[in-house]
Chain A
Amino acid sequence: MRLIAFALGLFAFVAVFLLVLRYTTYLSNVKKGRGNHPAAPTVPVSHDSSMTGEDV
């Protein structure tokens, strides 16, 4: 019984750890893809010449 309680407690701890981390990561990322970043260019910028090799 105590072993089960301990296992459940440990499971709950890890589960909550991961859930909160997931939630705060969501909160961190929810703003990144939207809105006008203060430093964002006001004219459309071509990314064709980007040397980073990534599509943005």
Chain B
Amino acid sequence: MAVRMEKGHGGQVVHDERIDPQANANLAVWLGLAALTFMAAVFVASNVYLRGWNPSKFTLNNQLLTDLPYWDTLILIVSGVLVLVAATFFARDRWQAFNAVLALAVLSWVATTLIQFRLMLWFAGYNQQIKTIDWPTSMIVFALTFISTVLIAIAGWYASFANKAKVNAFFPVAMNVWLYTVMFGIVVLLMERVLTVGQFAAWCGLHA
């Protein structure tokens, strides 16, 4: 990893002891997100297994509730692609194109955040089983999409400065959270809608 001399106050050269704070930030953010993954997985698995509910209780009988997570995840994937496109402009210092793509990405992230918020409320009011498993996971996804939206707003604000040092430092680290949010959304869709929590419960040996 390239280590460069930083200029301290007064312009003197400060020896930075081969520490790259931004690489450490990337790793720290990722380790935190990995911890969140295991927390969510243990939460779902232990609740499904220990509570011993009938697997059929996890079935959603509402067309809107079964379809909307797929649309939401589709918008989430589009949001992820948009920040990746913005990143290619970011790497080439093409700030106008970067700002334009970032503006589109904001719309897409806000859309997925709002849908996820509505889904979260619907899951909370469905039944006790859905409320126990789907509601907390959708809360985590909502929190992640909301944080992503805030981060993208901050990135856009920093990008409006004439001095690009702040956005240069901020954008790569925030990218960890955006990409993680997209992947978390896809995994939750696969685990709870494509496969179902009921199938997992049946696999755990739980029956009526």
Chain B nearest CB: distance from A53 CB in Å? 9
Q: Are A27 and B90 touching (Cβ within 8 A)?
A: yes
Choose from B4, B11, B93 the contact partner of A35 (Cβ within 8 Å). Answer: B93
Contact with B along A23-52 (1 / 0, CB 8 A): 111011111110101111100000000101
Which residues of B sit under 8 angstroms from A35, Cβ to Cβ? 93
Which residues of B sit under 8 angstroms from A13, Cβ to Cβ? 37
Choose from B5, B13, B171, B203 the contact partner of A27 (Cβ within 8 Å). Answer: B171
Q: Are A41 and B11 touching (Cβ within 8 A)?
A: yes
Q: Are B7 and A24 touching (Cβ within 8 A)?
A: no
Chain A nearest CB: distance from B3 CB in Å? 8
Chain B nearest CB: distance from A47 CB in Å? 9
Chain A nearest CB: distance from B71 CB in Å? 24
Which of B42-50, B137-145, B147-155, B176-184 interfaces with chain A?
B176-184
Query: Are A29 and B5 CB-contacts (below 8 A) given A20-B176, A38-B163, A52-B13?
Result: no
Question: On chain A, which size bracket covers the interface?
Answer: 20 to 34
What's the dominant secondary structure at chain B's contact region? Answer: helix
Asked whether B26 is an interface residue with its Cβ less than 8 Å from the other chain, the reply is: yes
28 A-B residue pairs with CB within 8 Å: A2-B203, A13-B37, A16-B183, A17-B30, A20-B180, A21-B176, A24-B26, A24-B179, A25-B1, A25-B26, A25-B172, A27-B175, A28-B22, A28-B26, A28-B172, A29-B1, A30-B91, A32-B2, A32-B4, A33-B4, A35-B93, A37-B7, A38-B165, A39-B7, A39-B11, A41-B11, A52-B15, A54-B5
A residues apposed to B, CB below 8 Å: 2, 13, 16-17, 20-21, 23-25, 27-33, 35, 37-41, 50, 52, 54, 56
